[in-house]
Amino acid sequence: MAGSLRAVTGKQLQLGVLARRMQSIPLTARTVLERASGKSIFEARYYRESQLSRLANLFAHIDVEKWRGMRVLEVGAGLGHLGDAFTALGFDVTSTDGRPEHVEAMRARGRESFVLDLDRDGVDKAGDYDIILAFGVLYHLAKPQEFLQSCGAAAKVLLLETCVCDDREPVVKWVKESSGWLGPDQAVSPNGCRPSPAWVEKTCSEAGFRTVRDISSSIGNWTSGRFDWEAHSTGEWSRSGYNLRKMWVCER
Ligand SMILES: C[S@@+](CC[C@H](N)C(=O)[O-])C[C@H]1O[C@@H](n2cnc3c(N)ncnc32)[C@H](O)[C@@H]1O
C-alpha cells in the first residue's frame, strides 16, 4: 500500500515538474511540441485557456435564461468546444466549420455538425437557427460584411468574438493567412481580415441588429489575446505579443 502510494506520489511529482518545464517553454515552441505529440491545435494549452476565458467573459455578461428554447448554430467551430458550453446548458446546438476534417472530428464525438464555408454561403442556407455563435472566425473571412449581413437576416442573436485592428475609423485591413500544417485554424480561403471595432459595430447595425453591445472585458483575456486594450488608433492588431480582440452581443 505504502509502496504504491509512493509510486503514485512520485509520478505526480514528475508530472508536476514536467508541467512547470512546459510553462517555461515559449508559447510557439510549446504549441509546436504539443502538435508534434499528435494533439489537435484546438487542444493546445493556449486554445483551452482561450476557450475558458472567452466563455467566462460571455457568461459574465449574458442571461441565457431569456434565450431558453432557442436553437444555436456555432460557426467556424473548430472542434466545437465553445458550443459544448451551450449543450451543457441544455441548448440544441449544431456546430459547423469550413473544414470537413473538423466536422468529421465533431461528428466522431457525437456533435450535430456539417460543413459550412462562411465565405461561400454565409449562414443563409444553414437552416433555422435563433442564435449564432461566431467566436474566432470573422477575422478569417474574405467576405466579413456578407457574413454579418446573412447573420442579421437569419438570426435573432449574434454572439460575436474576433481579432480587431486598433483604428477609430470603420475600416478593414486585409491579410493573407497561413495554410497547411500551420493553418488548420486559419482562413479556408486563405484571405483574412482585421476589422476595426467601429466597422464591426456599423456593419452589425446595418445588418439589422438593433443592439450591438460591446462586452469586452479583462475576464476574457488569455496569454495571447486581450480584450481590455487601450485604443490609440495605431492600426495594429497585435501588440506586445498578444492579439487585440473584441466581443459583442448583437440582438435584433
Ligand atoms: C481560430 S479557429 C476558432 C475556433 C473556435 N471557434 C474558437 O473560437 O476557439 C477558426 C475556425 O474557423 C474555421 N474557418 C476558417 N475560414 C472559414 C470559413 N470561410 N468558413 C467557415 N469556417 C472557417 C477554421 O477552420 C477554424 O476551425
245 lines ligand 1 (CB under 6 A): no
234 touches 166 (CB < 8 A): yes
**For the chain, which ranges sit under pLDDT 50?**
1, 5, 8
Distance 76 CA to ligand 1 centre (A): 3
Sort strands 242-251 and 238-239 into parallel, antiparallel or unpaired: antiparallel
The pLDDT value given to residue 122? 95
The pLDDT value given to residue 8? 47
Distance 185 CA to ligand 1 centre (A): 6
The pLDDT value given to residue 26? 57
For 75-86, write each residue's pLDDT tens digit. 999 999 999 999
For 116-128, write each residue's pLDDT tens digit. 999 999 998 899 9
Q: Ligand 1 pocket test: which of 84, 94, 137 has the largest number of ligand atoms within 8 Å of its C-beta?
A: 137
In ligand 1, which atom is closest to the CA atom of 74? 6
118 lines ligand 1 (CB under 6 A): yes
The pLDDT value given to residue 9? 55
Q: What is the DSSP string of 124-168?
A: TTS---SEEEEES-GGG-S-HHHHHHHHHHH-SEEEEEEE----S
| Nearest-CA residue for atom 26 of ligand 1 | 185
Q: What is the DSSP string of 158-222?
A: EEEEEE----SSS-EEEEE---GGG-TTS-SSSEEEEE-HHHHHHHHHHTT-SEEEE---GGG-B
The pLDDT value given to residue 125? 86
The pLDDT value given to residue 246? 98
The CATH classification of domain 46-251, taken from the options 3.40.50.150, 3.20.20.60, 3.90.79.10, 3.30.410.10: 3.40.50.150
Distance 102 CA to ligand 1 centre (A): 9
In ligand 1, which atom is closest to the CA atom of 51? 9
pTM: 0.89
The pLDDT value given to residue 18? 53
Distance 82 CA to ligand 1 centre (A): 12
- In whole numbers, what is the pLDDT of the chain averaged over residues? 91
What's the rounded Cα separation, in Å, for the pair 42 and 59? 21
Cα–Cα nearest to 143, from 172, 166, 114: 172
Q: Give how far Cα 189 sits from Cα of 7, 111, 137, 141, 183, Å.
A: 51, 25, 12, 8, 11
